[in-house]
A and B are shown apart, each in its own frame.
Chain A
Amino acid sequence: MLTMLFLSPEVYEEILAHCIRGLPAEACGLLSGNPATDTVQRCYLTHNAAASASLYTVDPLEYLHADRDAESRGEQIIGVFHSHTHTDAYPSPTDVEKAPDPSWHYVVVSLRDVYPSLRSYRIIQGAISEEEVVIDGRSMIGRIWS
């Protein structure tokens, strides 16, 4: 059974815009919300401290501030998003090795094609499983979103 990630259209657009703004480097950010319902309430648009087109590192101090802010709102950091500037929206070997938390959602945005592609995954003990992204009640599996 597919797990799910629930996003609002606003957060979805923020994620895409941040990824496009980050070009030519990869962009990254954190997802905050309710882990019990897999619902993202907000995203934190962080800097890519690696400033690279093939690697990202969420700026550690920004992660600390996001973590505190999420907690103050009764939320938790439940995942991370980052962009692949010229490859698939699929976790790379690097993404799998460095995945910090098995409970997190890993959103990958591909900017390879004309239209961005956003997909989400769980990465547990090195195994990748794609999950359904639901935006405003609409499942994005099988759709082309522009």
Chain B
Amino acid sequence: MPIEVRLPTVLRSHAGGRSTVQVDGSTIREVLEELATSYPGLKGQVIAENGALHRFVNVYVNDDDVRYLDNLDTKVSPGDVVSILPAVAGGCGVGTREKSLTKCNMGNGSLSLAGEYLLHQRSHSERI
């Protein structure tokens, strides 16, 4: 029995517009690799080149974040629902410093990473 995988809106175009697909696998890694094989546009979107989960993507097995389980080695069983969701974040950023690996929304259904060192100065509109 295959595993149900729910896709976020931003990745659905790579799966023919589908919000849910069925793939086989006994671990999250297998499920995601099978996903990338069946839908080549998804390759590199969830698992980064270094073989780990993308920093700005969250993967759940039912209600459990795989980062709190076994990451990509988390086991899945028939009947489990795997959900892939992007991190939703932002903020005025004033006074923060973020090093490297900035997610860049390319607007074409991809979540690519660009390495950049950012130092946020006082924002243009901040009043003392």
Identify the A interface with B (CB < 8 A).
26, 28, 30, 50, 52, 54-58, 60-61, 63-64, 67, 71, 76-77, 80, 82, 84-88, 90-95, 97-104, 112, 123-126
Contact = CB atoms under 8 A, between A and B. Distances in A.
Nearest to A67: B85
A91 to B, nearest CB: 7
B50 interface: no
B36 interface: no
Given A55-B96, A60-B87, A93-B120, A100 B125 contact: no
Contacts of A95: 90-93
Interface of B: 6, 8-10, 19, 56, 58, 60, 63, 65, 83, 85-96, 98, 102-108, 111, 118, 120, 123-127
A58 B102 contact: no
Nearest to B60: A64
A94 B95 contact: no
A60 B125 contact: no
Nearest to A101: B10
Contact of A55 (B91, B105, B107): B91
Contacts of B127: 86, 112
B92 A63 contact: no
Given A94-B96, A100-B88, A112-B125, 12 more contacts: A26-B91, A30-B88, A54-B92, A63-B58, A64-B58, A64-B83, A88-B123, A88-B124, A97-B90, A97-B104, A98-B90, A98-B103
Contacts, number: 139
A73 to B, nearest CB: 14
A54 B95 CA distance: 7
Contacts of A104: 9
A90 B125 contact: yes
